[in-house]
Amino acid sequence: MEGPSNTRMLSSSVTLRVIASVLAVGVVGAVVLKMKPDAYTLHLMVMSMIWGVFAVGWNLASGYGGLKTFGHQGFFGIAAYASALLSMHFALSPWLTIWIGALIAAAVSVVVVAPVLRLRSTPQIAIVTLAFGEIARIIIENVKSVTRGESGLIGIPGLPNVRVPFVGELTFSAADKTGYFIVSLILLTTASVGVYLLMRSRYGLGVHAVRDAQDAAESLGLNATVYRVGVFALSAFIVGAAGGLFAHYLLLLTPSDAVGVPLMVMIVSMVIVGGHRTIVGPVLGAFILTFGAEAFRDIEEYRLMIYGLLVILVMRLMPGGIARVGTLFHWRRS
């Protein structure tokens, strides 16, 4: 009787945490909007949350899945361009094309990475995914008749206005970014809560087992390849959703901004600074580095160097990232 009882108690605890977290996020969002920040501050918040979704998705594969991948910018860019082009040329609503783009990114991730994930070699996975990201950038940059290359894909439609029950009409425009703030907050919350619940499910336990002791997991009947491909595809889907929102928020895409290696460097830095293999860490890192980049805007050419120094400092002083600072202090006192 203790087993089922403990399981129910754990399930109730997880449910209460999720409800409390969602309510807390809603309160914070309402407070921010009540403060009426200026348009540029709201823009930085929206970008922080889009990068946060990207970081949460990458952390799912690299942190929880143990897959050292450095090509997720490819999935981000593929989804962004797919959503933009579908909405531009087929008159589809961006509310639909964002998810189509995310599904395309997930499908591409399976085709590209499934053969490599059968291997256990971390360097091979890292090299293949990094090469994929660069191949995606080169293709997008050179198919100028479709993407316009570095000239930039323009004419991307923004998100259509929607009427929300009990709230009213939610508008999306360059002048009023409130709608984008709310959608970004919802997407970030959904991605974070989704990863949290997944990692505490039976499937999540399998992912942990395959990551930490693959031989033992396979001896118990777990198909390591299925678990690794599954978590990688879900990771690409989350990153793809961020890419779609990115396209319909900025309304302009260039390969260097949407698929460039510096983008991946930034995301990796966010996850390491915030806290690898944590739920809140990637989000903290996204906000810190996005607003920090604004503080160092006058020395933009040194951005990658600053990211590198910050990562080194965090790894030296806070190995688990900012999200685990409390745990570090507790360990030192012990």
What pLDDT is stored for residue 14 in this prediction? Answer: 67
What pLDDT is stored for residue 334 in this prediction? Answer: 36
Is the separation of the CB atoms in 310 and 300 below 8 Å?
A: no
Cα separation of 84 and 97, whole Å? 8
DSSP, residue by residue, 172-210: --SS--HHHHHHHHHHHHHHHHHHHHHHTSHHHHHHHHH
What pLDDT is stored for residue 9 in this prediction? Answer: 53
- The residue among 123, 132, 126, 128 whose CA lies nearest residue 77 is 132
Beta-carbon count within 10 A of 95 CB: 14
Residues 6+ apart with CB under 8 A from 104: 78, 79, 82, 240
pLDDT along the chain (334 residues), means of 10: 52 71 80 86 95 97 92 97 97 96 97 78 84 95 94 95 79 88 94 93 92 88 90 97 98 95 93 92 93 79 79 84 66 40
What pLDDT is stored for residue 167 in this prediction? Answer: 66
Beta-carbon count within 10 A of 318 CB: 18
Cα separation of 272 and 312, whole Å? 10
- The residue among 70, 126, 109 whose CA lies nearest residue 268 is 70
> What interhelical angle do 281-295 and 303-317 show, nearest 10?
140
At 163, which helix (H) or strand (E)? Answer: strand 162-164
Facing residues of 168 across strands? 164
What pLDDT is stored for residue 11 in this prediction? Answer: 65
Cα separation of 219 and 233, whole Å? 24
